[in-house]
Amino acid sequence: MSEESHIIPKHLDDPPMYLMWDADEAYAFLGPVFLVVTFSPSLMNFLLGGILGFFSMRTLARIKSAGGKQLIKHALYWYTPTDAWFKFKRTPSSDVREFVG
């Protein structure tokens, strides 16, 4: 068997990419840009959306690097009503703080 006939992928667990950014960071950048331009299209608002998008992208990147990819999911579970985001069979709701019995 030659090595050329079988290619072994080296990056199975890499996140989806958009150009040079992770997809979720690209969405964090493009979301504010599209929202600002949609509601008031002008060059100044495009620049404002770009600045807001850049800061939201950097904030998301820092949050991900500080606590891993699951930090946002953990914060959503702990600080918001669980029924809005997650449907668990065995995990209790996050708003129950004390159990009797």
Please choose, from the candidates 30, 33, 23, 11, the residue with its C-alpha nearest in 3D space to the C-alpha of residue 69.
23
Alpha-carbon gap, residue 27 to 30, rounded angstroms? 5
pTM of structure? 0.61
32-82 confidence digits (pLDDT tens)? 999 998 888 888 888 999 999 999 999 888 888 887 767 877 777 777 776
Alpha-carbon gap, residue 90 to 57, rounded angstroms? 34
Average pLDDT over residues 2-17: 73
Going from N- to C-terminal start, the domains of the chain cover 17-68, 70-101
